[in-house]
Amino acid sequence: MVNRNLRSAISPGRFRAAPQTVFQVDTQGSDVSAAPTVINGFVFFGDWTGFLYKVDAITGAVAWKKNVTELVWPGGVGATNKLVTRTAVTDAGNGNLIIGTQVQSQGLPGNPTGNQGYVVSLKASDCTAVWKTLVDPSPYAVVTASPSVYQGAVYVGVSSMEELVDGFGVEECCSFRGSVVRLALDTGVKVWQFYTAPNVPGWSGNAVWGSAPAIDEARGWVYVATGNQYSAPKSVLECLANSANNEQKFACVNQVENNWFNSILAIDMNTGVLAWGRRVSFFDVWTTTCIPFVSTVTDCPFVESPDYDFGQAPLYFPGTQCGSETKDILVAGQKSGWGYGINAATGAILWKTYTGVGSTSGGMQWGSASDGVRTVFYQNANFAFKDVTLTNPAPGSPAIASGGFGTAVDICTGAIKWQAAIPITPTTKSAAAGPPVYIRELGANGNEYVVYPTLSDEGKLVAFNARTGEHYTTLIAGPGASVSGPAVVNGYLYVGVGYSRFGFGAKAVKHGLTAFRL
Q: Apex CA 66: angle with CA 459 and CA 456, to 5°?
A: 10
Q: Can you tell me the distance from the alpha carbon of 375 to that of 411, in angstroms, rounded to the nearest whole number?
A: 5
Tens-place pLDDT, residues 435-457: 999 999 988 888 999 999 998 88
Q: Is 58 helix (H, G, I), strand (E, B) or coil?
A: coil
Q: Can you tell me the distance from the alpha carbon of 180 to that of 182, in angstroms, rounded to the nearest whole number?
A: 7
User: DSSP H helical segments within 254-358, as ranges?
Assistant: none
pLDDT for 361 equals: 80
pLDDT for 1 equals: 46
pLDDT for 3 equals: 59
Tens-place pLDDT, residues 380-430: 988 888 899 999 999 999 999 999 999 999 999 999 999 999 998 777 678
Q: Is the peptide bond before 117 cis (omega within 30 degrees of 0)?
A: no
168 phi/psi in degrees, rounded to 5: -105, 10
CB 368 within 8 A of CB 214: no
Give the residue among 452, 455, 435, 430 at the shortest CA–CA distance from 505.
Answer: 455
1-24 exposure pattern, b = at least 16 Cβ within 10 A, e = fewer: eebbbbbbbbbeeebeeebeebbb
Helices (H) and strands (E) in the chain, counts: 4, 40
pLDDT for 516 equals: 97
pLDDT for 107 equals: 47
The length of the chain is: 518
Low-confidence ranges of the chain (pLDDT < 70): 1-6, 75-81, 105-114, 167, 169-172, 293-298, 428, 502-503, 505
What is the fold of 8-517?
A: Methanol Dehydrogenase; Chain A (2.140.10)
pLDDT for 74 equals: 76
CB 256 within 8 A of CB 232: no
Give the residue among 100, 127, 102, 126 at the shortest CA–CA distance from 48.
Answer: 102
CB 470 within 8 A of CB 464: yes
CB 229 within 8 A of CB 285: yes
End-to-end CA separation in angstroms for the chain: 27
Q: Can you tell me the distance from the alpha carbon of 145 to that of 334, in angstroms, rounded to the nearest whole number?
A: 15
Tens-place pLDDT, residues 313-324: 999 999 999 999
Bridge partners for 493 per DSSP: 488, 516
Q: Can you tell me the distance from the alpha carbon of 149 to that of 182, in angstroms, rounded to the nearest whole number?
A: 10
pLDDT for 11 equals: 77
pLDDT for 7 equals: 76
- 128: exposed, middle or buried (Cβ count in 10 Å: 0-12, 13-18, 19+): exposed
Give the start-end residues of each E strand in 57-128.
62-67, 83-84, 90-91, 96-100, 102-103, 118-123
